[in-house]
Amino acid sequence: MLELRNLTKRFGPATAVSEVTLTIPAGQMVGVIGRSGAGKSTLLRMLNRLEDPSGGGIVFNGLSVDGLKGRELRRWRSRCAMIFQQFNLVPRLDVLTNVLLGRIAEHRTLPSLFKRFSDAERTMAMLALERLDLADKALQRADTLSGGQQQRVAIARAMMQQPELLLADEPIASLDPRSAAKVMDALRAINREDGITVICNLHTLDTARQYCDRIIAMFHGQVVFDDVPDALTRDTVRRIYGVEDDAEGFREELTSNSGWLRPGAPLAHSPALV
Ligand SMILES: Nc1ncnc2c1ncn2[C@@H]1O[C@H](COP(=O)(O)OP(=O)(O)OP(=O)(O)O)[C@@H](O)[C@H]1O
């Protein structure tokens, strides 16, 4: 179980995340939504301590994460894998080596790292690639793959950490709808089959509704909605996206893979709002 208590992040005078208190049970698939700048990435980045909180606490199964340093912090980061919008692979390395890099925390030294992975680790990496339908790409350079394939390689690399928690920061934001669906299917399979808690920042409401058990919406750094997808009413969506203040901004923010909330679509005709 992951517990956030009054978690806050300030950048100078600006507050990016404000007093967020949440409990996320093991095995949940959680979607975090909200307009650009709402604090979604900062929230996720605090969980694996890419950003240090300015206040509040993070507790995972009794372990206080916010105070960890050195070896303990590295150990936490290996329990808490993260994938990013831009995949963050090493472009010139082959796919298999990129996946093996997920074991880096288990190795004490970096020199000649690439020769040092064990047969067991190579087998594990190939199994991860097979699971993501990418075994035939193992020896191909990562930068020759499509965006969707690269994101699935990043997921395979994350799986090599055998994480308890998988954080995904806008994992499908730069993908076409078909690739996005494959990536989301992979995340859901990992969640359902391995019981790994997945917390995923998403900018498409329909994706959050389709894949997540729970949706958390942020607005100006605060959680303004936290419930099952069916509870997202028209009023709540309007509040999350601040439509009263800025109808044009709302249409820009709420995009959709299926097209029914595409930019410019009339608000009244948007199924998400009814
Ligand atoms: N390193 C930083 N230094 C200063 N301000 C930052 C930093 N990182 C984020 N911010 C600010 O914190 C606020 C929240 O940003 P964050 O990236 O968490 O939002 P977001 O909801 O993930 O937005 P997006 O969907 O555009 O990524 C924004 O106002 C942003 O400008």
pLDDT in tens, 156-199: 999 999 999 999 999 999 999 999 999 999 999 999 999 999 99
Residue in the structure block whose two tokens are 């990013």: 84
Q: Say yes or no to pLDDT of 116 above 80.
A: no
For ligand 1, the distance from its centroid to the CA atom of residue 61, given in whole angstroms, is 28
Atom of ligand 1 nearest to the CA of 38: 21
The model's confidence at residue 115, banded by pLDDT at 50, 70 and 90, is low
Residue with CA nearest ligand 1 atom 1: 11
Q: What is the pLDDT of residue 232?
A: 87
Residue in the structure block whose two tokens are 């954080």: 167
Q: Which domains does the chain have, with CATH numbers?
A: 2-246 (3.40.50.300)
Q: What tens digit of pLDDT does each residue of 200-224 get? A: 999 889 999 999 999 999 999 999 9
Q: What is the pLDDT of residue 117?
A: 85
**Residue % of the chain over a pLDDT of 90:** 75
CB of 17 sitting under 6 A from ligand 1:
no
Atom of ligand 1 nearest to the CA of 34: 21
CB of 252 sitting under 6 A from ligand 1:
no
The residues, ordered by sequence, that sit 6+ positions from 110 with a Cβ below 8 Å of its Cβ are 104
Q: What is the pLDDT of residue 239?
A: 76
CB of 38 sitting under 6 A from ligand 1:
yes
Residue with CA nearest ligand 1 atom 10: 16
Residue with CA nearest ligand 1 atom 28: 37
Mean pLDDT of the chain, nearest integer: 87
- The number of CA neighbours under 13 Å toward the Cβ of 228 is 2
- How much is the pTM? 0.88
The model's confidence at residue 109, banded by pLDDT at 50, 70 and 90, is low
3-state secondary structure the chain: CEEEEEEEEEECCEEEEEEEEEEECCCCEEEEECCCCCCHHHHHHHHCCCCCCCEEEEEECCEECCCCCHHHHHHHHHHEEEEECCCCCCCCCEHHHHHHHHHHHHCCCCCCHHHHCCHHHHHHHHHHHHHCCCHHHCCCEHHHCCHHHHHHHHHHHHHCCCCCEEEEECCCCCCCHHHHHHHHHHHHHHHHHHCCEEEEECCEHHHHHHHCCEEEEEECCEEEEEECHHHCCHHHHHHHHCCCCCHHHHHHHCECCCCCCCCCCCHHHCHHHC
- Ligand 1 pocket: which of 11, 201, 253 to mutate (most atoms within 8 A of CB): 11
Q: What is the mean pLDDT of residues 27-33?
A: 97
Q: What tens digit of pLDDT does each residue of 64-92 get? A: 999 899 989 999 999 999 999 999 999 99
- Ligand 1 pocket: which of 32, 40, 51, 222 to mutate (most atoms within 8 A of CB): 40
The model's confidence at residue 260, banded by pLDDT at 50, 70 and 90, is very low
For ligand 1, the distance from its centroid to the CA atom of residue 16, given in whole angstroms, is 6
Q: Say yes or no to pLDDT of 143 above 90.
A: yes
CB of 44 sitting under 6 A from ligand 1:
no
